[in-house]
Copies of this chain bind each other. A is one copy, B any other.
């Protein structure tokens, strides 16, 4: 029987966790292990400087383990202490989409999946382009998401991820959809803006915030927000370019500069 880890970056009270658990609970031996407190935007950080602790609590028809750490800590606690070898890690469902390279790189939901992938475990990050709470109210949407997750997980448990793919980033629209669509990530999701203000004592401070960019056709943002389809981005962690002519020539030129200086 497949061992499946259900996790997220928002902790036990995220409504998306329940949907994810219900989607996979009949597909294997399921462990629910999550950070004790929300760890959004924590990326792949791990906790080295303070001890980790585990709490076991009731969760739906099973129990969940809470870890006082990051999504990455959860992966290691699962593998080394609580569950042993795992066949698949599913993370989410995050409330709010995790689309675009900009957002993917800082997402804790995707971070947990990437950490699992570094340990050689197939992993999927799920997010939904909904605002807090919505997702549970719209029962039809929750059911659609559940059955889509189930179909995807069944396929991966039977046949694995496609060759070269380390993890999947999946984003659901805010209406029920039954079609997965391959989509490249947009480069950015938000234009970051800084607003300058003055505090009561005359000191200057700044608020950083993001304004959504206009979605571009063909991107994950467009698929989810405009086309209302389920965007799937297959991610490879081989993000380097070594053998292009340009790269090789570039290094030769830099080494040439160094030699000239040494003469």
Contacts and interface: CB of A to CB of B under 8 A. Distances in A.
A46 B257 contact: no
A10 to B, nearest CB: 15
Interface stretch (A11-19, A26-34, A49-57): A49-57
A112 to B, nearest CB: 12
A208 interface: yes
Interface string A178-189: 111111110110
Contacts of A43: 41-45, 105-106, 111
A53 B205 CA distance: 5
Interface residues of A, number: 87
B155 A53 contact: no
Contacts of A224: none
A152 to B, nearest CB: 5
Interface stretch (A73-81, A89-97, A127-135): A73-81
A138 interface: no
Contacts of A258: 147-148, 151, 178-180
A109 to B, nearest CB: 13
A2 interface: no
B236 A162 contact: no
A193 interface: yes
Interface of A: 41-48, 51-54, 69, 72-73, 76-77, 80-81, 101-102, 105-106, 111, 114, 118, 147-148, 151-152, 154-155, 159, 161-165, 178-185, 187-188, 192-194, 196-197, 203-210, 232-242, 244, 246-251, 253-255, 257-259, 261-262
Given A54-B204, A80-B194, A182-B251, 9 more contacts: A43-B106, A76-B192, A76-B208, A147-B258, A151-B257, A155-B257, A163-B244, A164-B246, A232-B251
